[in-house]
Structure formats: structure tokens, C-alpha cells
Structure 1
């Protein structure tokens, strides 16, 4: 970006949530409670996995990284929203906005990849149980997580580098509570054809590949179970995959519900609803889903509470 173009805008204005001024305190308290629940819930999941040796398995190794990603994902946007509400201001600096966009893209991509990796883990556990230990060895688990981080960091960096080449001259109001890539592209007075091409090709590929992997894994799981169906086998499969399948259904179901099956709201309302669901609701619900539907996590939590009470 040329220096004269960079100097045209030093900050953006975040419209935030559409509410009356006297409702701001209520929204602030609500989002603070949701954010603290997200952070504490996911931190508890990470702590239980590290402390309980029974949870030192590939599935919970991936779950701990998903919990960390959810904490980071919410932390990218919600604290800034709370600060703006408390300070009664809407501004965000150019540098802070670009940084926020980078980490939002990074952790949304990472969630996709980790859900796909966890689906593959469930596929191996159910369809190839005798080879599970040899296939899902520690080296492969680390490689899958490291690869997810590598591709998502590159994905976010690519879109960030393309974005900073653009000029933002006049309009600087973002109709959201954080700096979204598509919203920033709409504010640019430069040619964004290359940015849009990369979003539809590279971005689309990095979204479709994890989703295809998840669908393929569960199709294979379903066909394997139905070859010799029994109540015991179906129950065991559901107990093994239920938590992950619930998170996947929630994550991709909200995308379909907001963008494909809703016609009563305009585009900006859809974007705002989707933003709240992705950045606040889903990261908060994940630890509840895995704790309420997972016997191992329940037992680890009971043991943790017992040890805490015993040492008092």
C-alpha cells in the first residue's frame, strides 16, 4: 500500500450491536458473562485433560487444542466489544483492526481443521479399532495439529497481506462489532477482484476440505455400523461420536440456518447474527457439550472436585 493511501484512514468505526443506549449496560453484562463462561469452561476442559492420565488419548489431545482455539477465538472480538461499550466509543485503529481480522480468520480456520482431525480420529477408532494405537500414534497427532496451525496461519497471513495493499479513503464504518474481512473489502476504494478470487478459491478450498473430511468420516462410520447393526454397537458408536457430532452439527448447522434458510432478515442482520453465534455462543457451548455428553470428562471432573475438597 502506498503511504498516501495508508494515511487516508487511521481508524475505523465499529457500529457494534443494534440496541438502545439504555440497553448497553445489559448487553455488556450479558456478553461479559458469556465470555467468562467460555474462557473458564474451556480452561477447565484443558486442565482436566492435562491432570487426568485417562484422558491422555488422541481424542482428548485434539479436544484440548479445540478448547484453546475457542478461548482465543472469543478473545479476539468480545473484549474489544466490551471495552467499546464501557468507554462509549466505537473506534478501532487501523493496525488493531487488521490484527483483529488476522486472528479471527486464523482461529475460525483452525476450528474447521480441528473438527476434521477429530472426525478422522473417530473414524479410525470405530472402523479400524485393532489398528487405532498404531495409526493414531503420538507423532501423527502432533503432525495433524501442527499442520492445522501451519495452513491456517498461512491462510490468515495471505488474506491479511492482500488486504493491506488496499486503500480505504472515505467510508470507514463497519456494520459489526469487530473487523470482518468481507466488511473491510466493502469499504475499500481499490480493486478487490484479486481478494475476492482468493476468497472463493483458496478460502473456499480450506472450508470445503475439512467439511468433506468430516462428512466422509461419518459416512464411513455409518456404513461400518450398519453392516452388523445392534443396539449395543449403535449405543457405543453414539457415545464415542456423540459429543463431536453435536459440535459439528451446531457449527455447520448455524451456517446453513443463518445464510441459506433464513429470508426474513437482510444481509447485515444475518452477518451480525452469525458473528454472535460464531464468536460467543458456539465457543461457550462446546465445553458443556463435551462435559455433559462425555463419561470420561464427567469422571475426570468428579475426581478433580473430590481432590480439591479433600485438600481443603
Structure 2
């Protein structure tokens, strides 16, 4: 069996050095569609180094996106990339990410679940620099055809959909070359660029990275409901419910007012769909946990 569950879970944590600077942050922001309009004051905080802040989802590509790649090269795991899809992602920034940084990522396979026709690998990562913890993450990797080994099915990732009309809705068009730009941040899976490889994986054409949609959605929430304050974001989780083809429009619906998991902030529920395919689901069970706004700057 390509996945040796016992070996994967018993493997010791692996440490990887990560490094990035403002160019990596700028490239990531452009990869998730920042800079439209190019001279917009709100967009310049994503695209101009003198005003730059870091959207927390940059953590998923810091150091070249080694977190997800590490899960596919862990001891006991040998899978075909054509069978791999991103199943879900949770990110917890412990403080605002610096524009330039050096850090150490410690990662391990936390679980391997048997979903019947597929396996789900959960990779847990902890990242810290000289000043302490920076972020924690759980990456769920869905591997088609690798289930049925009699293992634990794992917890359900599905929650009750939000009721009532959304408080805010934003439509975000993606570019036809969006995946080609986003992959420069480190995810080189040919599924997102090579038509022949995409066909072998069962798709009509290359698809957009799930983590690109993940970043687009958080940017929409940050700009629409948080006044651009990336420091308020405490956690962000999603389940990847469907694919996006570059050039499609993402509809980001947001519901506010729920309590977060710790009872000390607010949870924003989010749903993302593809407009051109009758609002086909893209991101589901999506929650952004935020802290209350801080005191105004004097």
C-alpha cells in the first residue's frame, strides 16, 4: 500500500528553515488577485513595499510552500500527484506576519483517515522565529484511491450552513493566467498548468489552486469587514468543496455575528461559489475567527 499509516504516524517531526522577503509577499498578493485597481489606496497595502502588510494566508506559501509538499514526502507516504487534491486547511496566526522573516517549521503527519475511496493525510505544522511562535497550521491532503484500509474515518468537517441572507457579498473575478502566476509562489503541481496532466487527473483543463481561492476569500473578508486590519485574524479554516477554473468569478458570501470557538471574539462564516457554473460550491464550512478591533491609533 502506498500509504504506510503506522510508519507515517511514527515518523519523528521534521524541521525546515523558511525564509522570505517583501518580494515573496508581493508576488503572493498578486497571485491571489491583489492590485485591482492598481493605484487603489486599499490595494497598495498589498502591492507597494512602503505600505506593505502581510495577509496571514501568505503562511501557506512562505519558504516556497514547503508545508503541503512535506506531507507528500513524509516517511510511509508515496502517492501519485494526479490523485491528490487539497481537502481542507486551517491556519492560526499567533501574531502579524513580518514582511521579511526567517523561521523554522516543525511538521509531522498528525493523522491518516480512511474515507473509503480515498485517504486523508493531516499534516500539522508549527512555525516559530527568534521572537516566538508565528503560526500553526493543519493541512488536509485528499488522496483518491488510497482508502479502504480499515482505518479511522476521522471527524466530520461539515457544519450547518449559515441561515438567512449574507451580510455581505463580493464577486471576485479571477484571471485566465491566475494559476500560472500563483504557482510561482511554490506550488508546482502540474495539475494547475499542464492540460495533459489535468486530463489524466480527470479535469477538462488545469484548475486553480485551492489555496489561491483560500487567499482570495480571506482578502475579501479582510477588506470588506475588517477595514484591512490583518492583525485581527486569529484563525481561518475551510473545506475545499469544488474546483475553480482560471477566469471564473468567485462569489464570496459572508455572515457575521457568531461566537468563535474560544468565546472571546467573533466568527465570520463564509461560503465561496463559482458564479459561471450556477454557484457551484468552491469553499464550504469556512470560518474566519477574529478579535475585536483594537483602540484607535492616536
TM-score range (shorter-chain normalised) is under 0.3
TM-score (norm 2): 0.27
TM-score (norm 1): 0.26
Q: Which is richer in helix?
A: 1
Q: Which structure has the larger Rg over C-alpha atoms?
A: 1
